[in-house]
Amino acid sequence: MSADYTTDVLIVGSGPAGSTCAALLGTYGIANMVVSRFGWLADTPRAHITNQRTMEVLRDLGLEEEAVSVSSHQDLMANNVFCHSLAGEEFGRLLSWGNHPARKAD
């Protein structure tokens, strides 16, 4: 089955780059269409850390408050834990995600 579509901008891929591109073009009233290879989202997390420039883009899109509302505060992400399982033996942990005292000013 095939169908004809007309759009000014065709965006291939609905990852952060593609979906942000679509949203930003939309704010300028530029017609666009996103196509993606898959019909589902990734089943593992890929955005533990969201950097300052990304938050600025989300702010421009009016999405900052929503992003913050579903985020974990940095203090809750202090360590990178090495363990056999979540309830099993812990081998060690590192201060990470910018939480080492030497990096607090970052």
Ligand X SMILES: Cc1cc2nc3c(=O)[nH]c(=O)nc-3n(C[C@H](O)[C@H](O)[C@H](O)COP(=O)(O)OP(=O)(O)OC[C@H]3O[C@@H](n4cnc5c(N)ncnc54)[C@H](O)[C@@H]3O)c2cc1C
Binding residues for ligand X, rule: CB under 6 A, are 12-18, 35-38, 44, 46-49
To the nearest whole angstrom, how small is the minimum distance from the Cβ of residue 96 to ligand X? Answer: 11
Residues facing residue 73 across a β-bridge: none
Tokens of 95: 């201060």
To the nearest whole angstrom, how small is the minimum distance from the Cβ of residue 19 to ligand X? Answer: 7
Residue 75 carries which side chain, given as an amino acid letter? D
Which residue lies nearer to ligand X by CB, 46 or 89? Answer: 46
Which residue lies nearer to ligand X by CB, 46 or 84? Answer: 46
Which residue lies nearer to ligand X by CB, 12 or 30? Answer: 12
Instruction: Encode burial over 6-31: b for 16+ CB neighbours within 10 A, e otherwise.
Output: eeeeebeebeeebebbbbebeeeeee
